[in-house]
Each structure stands twice: as structure tokens, then as C-alpha cells.
Structure 1
Amino acid sequence: MIQRARIILLAADGMASARTAYNVGTTTTSVWKWCNRSREGGVAALDNVSCSVRTRPISDLDIVNTTPIRSPKKYGVLRWSSRLSGQHLGLRNATVSRAWRAYGRTPGRRKPSDSPPISN
């Protein structure tokens, strides 16, 4: 609420949106948004705003735990990829990939300890 009020006060004093964003520590898009809301609804529009924070439908740990360990033979491949696992779980591949990285999971790769010894 304080940041919103600062945005409105600086904009009302005639400060440019980019300068206002820099001074407040936000983006010009935020400055435009709050200025438009204050013009449309006054001070009340700044207070009663429900932020649209997206909640994750599934946690990273749940993604890692529900990623099947067995080879996906029904898809005709040897290893799981983030895209294939995302399709299987109904999630975006970036979501699956982020969860795997967070927990050090690499289903499509062998661990260095599992690799055969190199012989010359």
C-alpha cells in the first residue's frame, strides 16, 4: 500500500513513469497500472486490490515423487525427458525440469558412479 501511494504521489507531482519506477523500485508497467487504477477508482482502488498471485498446482517434491522411475516403454523411448514426464503428469516441461533441478534428479542421465570404467 505504501509503494502504491508513493507511485501515485510522484506521478501526481508530474514525475515521468520511468523515473517514478526507478525511485520506488518497481517497473514502469506497475506505475502505469497503479496510476490507471487510481484514476478509475480513486484512493479506494489502491487499497482493495486482490493480487493475482498464482499458486502452484503441485509442489516440486510431489513432481519428483510422482515421476515414474520405470522406463516409459509405452511411449517407445528408453528414458524419461522433462517433456515426456510433463505430458504424462499434465504439467509444462519447464515445471518438471525446475523440480528435477531443485532435487538433483536427472532421470534421463546416468550417475557417474553407474558408468562403466574406461579402458584403454
Structure 2
Amino acid sequence: MPLRVRVVSVAGVQDEDDFGSNDLYVTLTTGGQTEKTTVKKGAGRQAIWDEAFVFPNWTPGSPIEIEVKDKDPLKDDKLGKVKITPEISGPGEKEVVAELHHGLLHKKRGVINLIVSAQ
């Protein structure tokens, strides 16, 4: 069953840049497929995308790994991640708000807003 995931926004992430602001982007991975939003240059601690991705080989009950990163010239900073398992029970869209965590202590590092639907 194909799954459509719309990345709406991220808020409250840590600003990792010493000079300037975070250049935020999001990666989504499930079923061996990885998708990436555009980079929001100078976004700082929050960004709005409203970008949609389709995962044609998604199977119900499979998790989606989501990671928020800061694009840097040498190495991108990992700002937060979360794993969700969408519960789709028919047509229509479902809003998902998930807490992002970071590091071994799983410190809260903001939230991500998504809209998921079966295709």
C-alpha cells in the first residue's frame, strides 16, 4: 500500500551553528526508500516545508524513521530524530505531531508536524 507523507513543519530544534542559523532539512526513511526535503537556509529553530513524498512499497505497520538535520559545508549536524508507525485505517489524511529526540539520553529537541495518508 503506498503511503503519502507530507512534511509540514519543524519547531523548537536546537540551533547548532556558531555563526548564522540552522539550514534545516528532513529525511524520511521506510521500506528501503529515503526521501529528503529541500534545505531551508537560515531557518534557525523552525521551518515550514509543506512538501509531500510517496512511499510506494510501504506496508502497514512499518515504521518511518525521521531525522532533522542542519546542512553544513563539511558535515551535517543531526538535530533530532523520531520513529513513527502511522496507523492508517482507511481513506483520509491523519495529522501526526511527534517529539524529536537527540543523543543517548534522548533529550527532547523539538517537534515535527506531518500529514500521512494511504494512496
Same fold (TM over 0.5): no
Structure with more contact order per residue of length (Cα contacts < 8 Å, sep ≥ 6): 2
More helix by share: 1
**TM-score tier (shorter):** under 0.3
Q: Which protein has the larger Cα radius of gyration, Structure 1 or Structure 2?
A: 1
TM-score where L is the length of structure 1: 0.22
